Amino acid sequence: MSDIIEKLQQIVGPAQVLSAKQVAQRATHFWNPSPMVARALVKPATVDQISDVLRTCFEHGQSVVTHGGVTGLADGEKSTSDDIVLSLERLNQIESVDAVNRTMTVQAGCVLQSIHEAANDCNLLYGVDLGARGSCTIGGNISTNAGGLSVLRYGMTRDQILGLEVVLADGTVITALNSLIKNNTGYDLKQLFIGSEGTLGVVTRAVLKLRPATPTRNTAIVAFNTFEQVTETLALVSRELNANLNAFEIIWNDFYRLSTNPDITGTSRAPLTRDYSAYAIIESRGASVESDKQQFQQTLEELLEKDLIADAVIAQSETEQKDIWQIRENVDLSLRHSPLFVYDISLPVNHMEAYVDEIRTNTKKHWPDAVVHAYGHLADCNLHISIAPKPENFIRDTQQQPIRIQAFNEEESKWYETVNRIVFEPLASIGGSISAEHGIGLLKKKYLHYCVSDEEIAAMRLLKKSLDPKGILNPGKILDME
Amino acid sequence: MSDIIEKLQQIVGPAQVLSAKQVAQRATHFWNPSPMVARALVKPATVDQISDVLRTCFEHGQSVVTHGGVTGLADGEKSTSDDIVLSLERLNQIESVDAVNRTMTVQAGCVLQSIHEAANDCNLLYGVDLGARGSCTIGGNISTNAGGLSVLRYGMTRDQILGLEVVLADGTVITALNSLIKNNTGYDLKQLFIGSEGTLGVVTRAVLKLRPATPTRNTAIVAFNTFEQVTETLALVSRELNANLNAFEIIWNDFYRLSTNPDITGTSRAPLTRDYSAYAIIESRGASVESDKQQFQQTLEELLEKDLIADAVIAQSETEQKDIWQIRENVDLSLRHSPLFVYDISLPVNHMEAYVDEIRTNTKKHWPDAVVHAYGHLADCNLHISIAPKPENFIRDTQQQPIRIQAFNEEESKWYETVNRIVFEPLASIGGSISAEHGIGLLKKKYLHYCVSDEEIAAMRLLKKSLDPKGILNPGKILDME
């Protein structure tokens, strides 16, 4: 047994170090069942143990890949047979909730859903929610600056973080568990570690900002004839629903048709006919049953009167709300092609229509029957796009044939390169981003230059070299060090 | 003439370089009329010129102090006769407003008030407002992460910044004028420069996030018998007014008495009697005249029914709103003592009452008649405190005798040290901050250890050394380099 593995066993106990063989019993990823690869996987139980593990790895020049819920979508958590995986699965406690100051202190391995539940118990809420809530951890959310469903109202994960504890590459523990909204005392170090995908330090604990609960909920789905109506509608509802506006999700016609297709979904009905060019789900949340409802209805009436929307359905019950949201949440339907290339991009709202048309046209030049689905958080400038070059390869039964957004063969990999260029290239000139909320990881590293300048990359390298001089933390992710 | 001054003249033109003698015609600071001191003051007109100025200074190891509106309250802008002052007064343009995407691109020397006016013209608003709005610049706001009157709803300056252009110490220009809410593409470099008080780079341009305007406004002043009522009231209005809650300002009895004293103010009336232990101004803002008013009145009624407030006055007109806010804004009345020591601290709400009592008691041990005034942004955990050891030195006419929160004589400087310890020391053990929104500058540098650990300071030094290896940018501010 190698020297370093023995030392790691002394730190965390032999049972908490999995060998390469044991690691292979885990799946690589939520979307990829192939065996996980690593030199070993270490499961510390305390921040002190994490500090000792990192100090040991630093001394040995041993690379470390930190794992949370392993639900990322940019291969940021991918490990090789040379890496030690540092899993934070045993640091999963909510340490305290302060209902008066509206803060919560959590360990990094805490699952997002348990944070929502603990906030809810105090009649408060945590501002970031996303599909992987049952598996993803707050440490992973912080390291990728996760976005999700409520960014429009509450911002990204960065906007929820008041304090952070981080262990640096050499084992130094920086405990900066600030719980104050306002604290201007020197450089705000936590900002460096939020969104840096585990390449600058290991997040171990965090103080989260909580918000007052929003018990009332008004939901509608509306239809548009033109994209111009979409942007004007967003402006009007932002003004009229104001701070209560909680969601404005756009769905292009193709995805609406798919998501309301009874042949595929079995149960879904279409609240609005399938002929409009686009649809949006609009939701307001607040605390005053009567006045919120009144405000919502008046706003919808104004949209109809001004011909900004072609039609609308307001949900009259919780079931109807769920049905409307189901149309947006049938995301897995758009993933049922093989192979499938998925994107999470961001661009100014006024460029969206032309952009989606452009990538549709360019994709069809290569694959005339290609399926291009677009939907997303319009008010956040964020679109999710999925492109299937071969629509005939539709997966009817995901139990038999799993969804495949990774592990492409040689030919498919070439297609992927082509589609990447189709999707990413136009973003450079319109101030778009190749990654809105999923991060860069390994997958998008070579396209980073489309939206980040040479000077920015040089500054990022400088920071990486300063904080992780031996390059042991999640090496090769986001940037190469040359 | 020295070599470097000549080079600077070549870059910006001779008329745009003020000599030490010309610099002395400017006041040191908004609060300090004594002559400004500097080797020279340079007024570049473009980012390229700033880059050339910094490259030249870097080559010569010449220290540079960047100036915006010079309204800071921590001596962050203080210069010596060795420093070149880099004034951004000529970069004062609003470059563009994008009403669809709700962003504004501005030059760093732009005055805050002009940003408000430009946003207002598009039926939008900019989320940070503060007393110095007519003089302070956005570059200074960014460099100090300014807070102000709307943090409760919109956050600090950091939360308004989408993109930034920065010039590094060696003249490298990092143009990262992102305009997207969501953009996770590598390290978020702009976060480093926000709040670092000009010590890591010079902010030259910014993309600001704008918000929908809030035309409706409901304002009340309420009175409390106990501090427990204050925290319970904050919880209730946060829940009920929810996202519309725009301000919750606390005023302790002493300051209320002063601010409504007709002998001093001449005109102010007291909307509520002067006997309650504390008062709060509560304001909601939104877009629906009827439903917002209804929600506000119901919330106030609930507070009265539950005995959480002792009395309340709701403003019935814009004039009455102004009168209520005037009580809070009579801040200069609390500054009319000589000498006067002012503080901007932050601490968890549940510690506030005991903390204010403690510093009052401890101050009176030294000066039995000392005046201690407290007021501030309770919902942000932020209190402003002013302490006058000798209340008999009250300034009746500020034209004759200017307000003096700087330039203390030897005896007063000793008093200042004593009061600093009284105010700052108790914050360490309760998770408080010695600077909520004004920054560290020179004034609070030696007290930084009360709320920042040795590991944090070491990491800050590491960043400073990496980004400004010769230490030319605003040297000695925030940190000493040992």
| Chain A contact for B179 (CB, 8 A cutoff) | yes
Instruction: Write the DSSP symbol of residue A472.
Output: -
- The 3-state DSSP class for residue A317 equals coil
B221 three-class SS: strand
| Cβ-defined contact of A151 to B182 (cutoff 8 Å) | yes
CB nearest to A183's CB, from B177, B182, B433:
B433
Please state which of the ranges A172-186, A239-253, B262-276, B411-425 shows the lowest mean pLDDT: B262-276
Answer yes or no: do B435 and A184 touch at CB < 8 A. yes
Handedness of CA A111, A116, A120, A122 (dihedral sign): positive
Residues of chain A in contact with residue B122, where contact means CB-CB under 8 angstroms, are none
State how far the Cα of A451 lies from the Cα of A429, in Å rounded to an integer: 9
Read off the tokens for A245. Answer: 């506006």
> With an 8 Å Cβ cutoff, is A101 touching chain B?
yes
pLDDT above 90: percentage of residues in chain B: 85
Q: Which spans in A221-287 are helix H? A: 227-240, 253-259, 262-265
Is A101's CB within 8 Å of B349's CB? yes
Better-scored residue on pLDDT, B199 or A332: B199
pLDDT at residue B337 in the model: 86
Does this model's pTM top 0.90?
yes
**CB count, 10 Å around CB of A218?**
24
Of B179, B183, B437, the CB nearest to A182: B437
Residue A11 near residue A44 (C-beta atoms within 8 A)? yes
Q: Tell me the pLDDT tens digit for each residue of B375-394.
A: 889 889 999 999 999 888 87
Strands B173-176 and B202-212, by their bridges, are unpaired
Q: What is the pLDDT of residues A242-279, one digit of tens each?
A: 999 999 999 999 999 999 988 877 766 789 999 999 99
Residues 418-457 on A with a CB inside 8 Å of B are 431-440, 444, 448, 451-453, 455-457
Set of chain A residues whose Cβ sits within 8 Å of the Cβ of B181:
151-152, 155-156, 346, 380-382
Backbone angles phi, psi at A306, to 5 degrees: -85, 10
Interface of A with B in 129-158 (CB under 8 A): 144-145, 147, 151-153, 155-156, 158
What integer pLDDT is reported at residue B268 of this predicted model? 60
Give the nearest partner residue to A180 out of B189, B433, B455, using CB atoms. Answer: B433
Residue from the list A168, A380, A434 with its beta carbon closest to the beta carbon of B185: A434
- Asked if A478 lies within 8 A of B186 by C-beta distance, the reply is yes
Whether A433 and B98 lie within 8 Å, measured CB to CB: no
Side chain identity, residue B190: K
CB contact under 8 A, B440 and A185: yes
Average pLDDT, chain A: 94
Residue type, B124: L
- The pLDDT of residue B384: 92
Mean of pLDDT values over B8-15: 98
Please tell me if residue A321 touches chain B, with a CB cutoff of 8 Å.
no
Distance CA B161, CA B22 (A): 35
Give the closest of A196, A212, A350 to B187, CB-based.
Answer: A196
Tell me whether strands A40-42 and A64-67 are parallel, antiparallel or unpaired: unpaired
- A124 contacts chain B (CB < 8 A): no
- Give the mean pLDDT of B349-373: 95
Nearest chain B residue to A237 by CA: give it. B212
- Label the pairing between strands A40-42 and A84-87: parallel
CA distance A277 to A253: 5
Give the count of Cβ contacts less than 8 A between chain A and B. 293
CA atoms of B141 and A186, how far apart (whole Å): 15
A chain contacts of residue B102, beta-carbon cutoff 8 Å: 238
| ipTM confidence | 0.95
CA distances from A85 to A247, B102, B123 (A): 37, 42, 51
Q: Using a CB–CB cutoff of 8 Å, tell me whether B171 touches chain A.
A: no
Q: Which residues of A touch B460 (CB under 8 A)?
A: 186-187, 189
Q: Tell me the Cα Rg of chain A.
A: 23
pLDDT-derived band at B338, boundaries 50, 70, 90: confident
**B459 touches A: beta carbon within 8 Å:** yes
Residue A473 distance to chain B (closest CA, Å): 14
Question: In terms of Cα–Cα distance, which of B369, B394, B152, B387 is closest to B280?
Answer: B152
| Residues of chain B neighbouring A449 (CB-CB closer than 8 A) | none
Q: Token pair of B245, please? A: 């809650």
B159-173: pLDDT as tens digits: 999 999 999 999 999
Tell if the CB–CB gap between B175 and A455 is shorter than 8 Å: yes
Which residue ranges form the domains of chain A, and what is each CATH number? Answer: 94-212 (3.30.465.10), 216-331 (3.30.70.2190), 336-446 (3.30.70.2740)
Inform me whether the pLDDT recorded for B1 exceeds 60. Answer: no
**CB–CB contact B436 A184 (8 Å):** yes
Token representation of residue B415: 């008093």
Question: Which regions in chain A score pLDDT beneath 50?
Answer: none
Chain A residues 21-60 with a CB less than 8 Å from chain B: none
Question: A312-322, pLDDT tens digit by residue?
Answer: 999 999 999 99
The answer to whether the beta carbons of residues A187 and B460 sit under 8 Å apart is yes
Dump pLDDT digits (tens) for A338-393.
889 999 999 999 999 999 999 999 999 999 999 999 988 988 999 999 999 988 88
